[in-house]
Amino acid sequence: MPSQADTNKFLNFTRRNMLGLMGSSAAAIGFGLPGRVYADDHEIIKAHGYSYFGDLKYPADYPHFDYVNPNAPKGGEISVSTRGTFDGMNRFASKGRSGLFSGLTGESMFAAGPFGTAVPSDSLTDGYGLLAHTVEYPKNKTWCIFHMRPEARFADGTPVTAHDALFTHNLFLEQGIRSYARAVKQRISGAEVLDDHTIKYSFVDGISRRSLISQVGATDVFSKAWYEKTGERLDEPSLLTPMGSGPYVVDDFEINRYIVYKRNPDYWGWHLPINKGRHNYDRVRVEYFADDAAEFEAFKAGVYTFRAEGSTKRWATGYDFPAIDKGHVKRETLPSGTPPSPTGFIFNFQRERYQDVRVREAMSLAFNMEWTSESLQYGLTTQRHSFIEGTEIEAKGPPEGLEKAFLESLGDVVPPDFMTQDAVRAHTSNPASTVDRRNKRKALKLLEEAGWTIGSDGLLANAEGMHFEHKFMLSSATSDTAEAIITTYVANLQDFGFKAEMEKVDSAQMQQRFLDKDFDMLFTRNQSFQTSGTGLNQYYGSETAVVSSWNPQSLQSPLVDAIIDASLNTTSREEEVASLMALDRALRYLRIQVPVGYVADNWVAYYDMFEHPEELPPLSVGYLDFWWFNQEKYEALKAAGAVE
């Protein structure tokens, strides 16, 4: 039972929800900076960054991030690999498949890692100015103003201005991903240029503004003049990369073979503390391969030089080639400070046959994690239960304390059994056989309750005699181990009576059918969450479920919607954690995914010419962000014939 203090806290919290968090009930940021007061009596905050809760980790005069080597040398090349194909360099196109990292040329008001690294990598909630040197906003966050750096330049040397920022904002509304554009229109009432280097965004009344400053601050800014000159569109495939202002530019590429990104020596932002010790390679090369086997053979031959290993089989048995024996290739197991990615087999809820939770639980029971780990993954994986496994947010046992009070504040949308049951955990299976007979009996009982029974032909059918048909879609570029796992799972579903089959398609078709939601089931990941924000609506909300690629299941749940809405109005980290714990509990209760095993650490292998800080930050390995190249080691490897 929640304490009276917990209950009172959430009664107050609910009242704040009803008031829309207006006025003095909004959370104070407390940067320790002087504010000023406008006529509406809302204190105005000006700062070098933004965090919804508490003080920023780094002060305005920080010299560099704590985890980087500010004296890291610049130079050299790192090459990585990927599988599949690409047909363009515009990552925002609604069709086709863009090249890996093709979005890195853009920058935003707040810094982001050009290769997808968290910035900073030692704080969940902080954002620091990049294109903008200052952000200004009232405590109630009805608007925000970005004061941009006048020295910022696009890669072609032209200035980055507020007019470009406004143009890009409108471009995303007109030609951006539909779910994103719709969400922005419903939350951002307007944007206006105040002068050449100042832009103001205004937010809609009566909604949570929890992450809106972060959202507009993270939007790329592209060159208005470039779009007008080229006639390019954001939503159409193109071999051109949108003109941005980032530290890397596209140097060379050959469709389906490679892409080379070059560090821009004329990049405008080398002097900024946020860039010290980062962006250290002269070149980043991406090599493309058709399949998993060819990809690994190329690494052994030195065709590319850094590999993040995702195969348990290969990690256990594959690293016995000559470059390892000679010490040319180094293997490291690096700790991870983030929860494992919530990967698994997902259902397409647009298919009516998957909408019954009993069916989803029954299909989950056909996956034998224990056999899979021991027989196919060398016992190196651990069963994942939660969408934020191993964090303070992971739901455990029945709801209690702040979480229970939070759920009680939501009213009748919360099912009674949700309040009394332990958080759903993945089932256990007998590792001695692919099919666990105990789980099969339980599954068949659930299916019978849902209207599916085994007929004389051994197949599941409903009252109309329709078989339960099920196709598992996978890419032709899927690794051998992953394909073996999927093949075994499909065979188990067949044993349970499903008319199941595996459908292999090429990577381009896989991408398009994923975007079109044209599948029954596939192996992919949902988005993890350690903080709240409007992005949760994109990941799990009903509003854009059918069109959002971030919500691959097309999940539409009044319970999840209510939790997200209330989470956006939490005003302390304690409340936020309780609300996200409830979200984790709900996603597991609804069984939106069949969770698979995970590896707790990061496995990397690389030719021994790269170095990294002794202590890595918790949120990123950062090998493309703040590692560096050792020229002497490279020369030694080259002399030995290990690399070109």
Q: What angle do CA 19, 576, 38 make, to 5 degrees?
A: 45
Q: Where are the alpha helices (DSSP H) in 423-557?
A: 437-449, 480-495, 507-515, 535-540
Indicate the pLDDT class of residue 385, thresholds 50, 70 and 90. very high
**Is the distance from CB of 154 to CB of 187 less than 8 angstroms?**
no
Q: What percent of the chain has pLDDT over 70?
A: 93
**609 and 583 assigned to the same domain:** no
- Residue 387: its pLDDT value, please? 97
Mean pLDDT of the chain: 91
- Domain for residue 73, yes or no? no
**Is the distance from CB of 27 to CB of 208 less than 8 angstroms?**
no
**55 and 186 assigned to the same domain:** yes
Asked whether residue 48 carries a pLDDT value surpassing 60, the answer given is: yes
Phi, psi (deg, nearest 5) at residue 128: -120, 145
- Domain for residue 330, yes or no? yes
Average pLDDT over residues 470-486: 93
Q: Of 230, 263, 281, which one is at a domain's C-terminal end?
A: 230
Asked whether residue 2 carries a pLDDT value surpassing 80, the answer given is: no
- CA dist 82 and 304 (Å) reads 10
Number of domains in the chain: 3
**177 and 278 assigned to the same domain:** no
**349 and 327 assigned to the same domain:** no
Q: Which residue has the tokens 């069949």?
A: 594
Question: Using the 8-state DSSP alphabet, how is residue 546 labeled?
Answer: T
- Domain for residue 644, yes or no? no
- Summarize pLDDT for 389-421 with one digit per residue, the tens: 999 999 999 999 999 999 999 999 999 999 999
**517 and 467 assigned to the same domain:** yes
**330 and 379 assigned to the same domain:** no
- Residue 54: its pLDDT value, please? 62
**488 and 572 assigned to the same domain:** yes
Asked whether residue 26 carries a pLDDT value surpassing 80, the answer given is: no
Question: Using the 8-state DSSP alphabet, how is residue 348 labeled?
Answer: -
- Residue 135: its pLDDT value, please? 97
- Domain for residue 220, yes or no? yes
- Domain for residue 14, yes or no? no
Q: Of 230, 264, 299, which one is at a domain's C-terminal end?
A: 230
- Residue 28: its pLDDT value, please? 27
**370 and 390 assigned to the same domain:** yes
Q: For position 164, which CATH number holds?
A: 3.40.190.10
- Domain for residue 415, yes or no? yes
Report the C-alpha dihedral over residues 131, 188, 96, 308, rounded to 10 degrees. 50
Which one, of 235, 168, 176, lies nearest residue 201 by Cα?
A: 168
**109 and 225 assigned to the same domain:** yes
- Summarize pLDDT for 294-347 with one digit per residue, the tens: 999 999 999 999 999 999 999 999 999 999 999 999 999 999 888 999 999 999
Question: Could you tell me which residues are beta bridge partners of residue 145?
Answer: 136, 200
- Residue 30: its pLDDT value, please? 27
- Domain for residue 180, yes or no? yes
- Residue 23: its pLDDT value, please? 27
Average pLDDT over residues 78-107: 92
**160 and 281 assigned to the same domain:** no
Q: Of 175, 200, 230, which one is at a domain's C-terminal end?
A: 230
Helix axes 162-175, 178-187, angle to 10 degrees: 120
Asked whether residue 32 carries a pLDDT value surpassing 60, the answer given is: no
Owning domain of residue 619: 248-336+602-639
SS3 content of the chain, % helix, strand, coil (to 5): 30, 20, 50
- Summarize pLDDT for 138-195 with one digit per residue, the tens: 988 999 999 999 999 999 999 999 999 999 999 999 998 777 788 788 889 999 999 9
**165 and 270 assigned to the same domain:** no
- Domain for residue 534, yes or no? yes
**364 and 486 assigned to the same domain:** yes
**Is the distance from CB of 562 to CB of 410 less than 8 angstroms?**
yes
- Summarize pLDDT for 333-361 with one digit per residue, the tens: 999 888 999 999 999 999 999 999 999 99
Q: Where are the alpha helices (DSSP H) in 496-555?
A: 507-515, 535-540
Q: For position 580, which CATH number holds?
A: 3.10.105.10
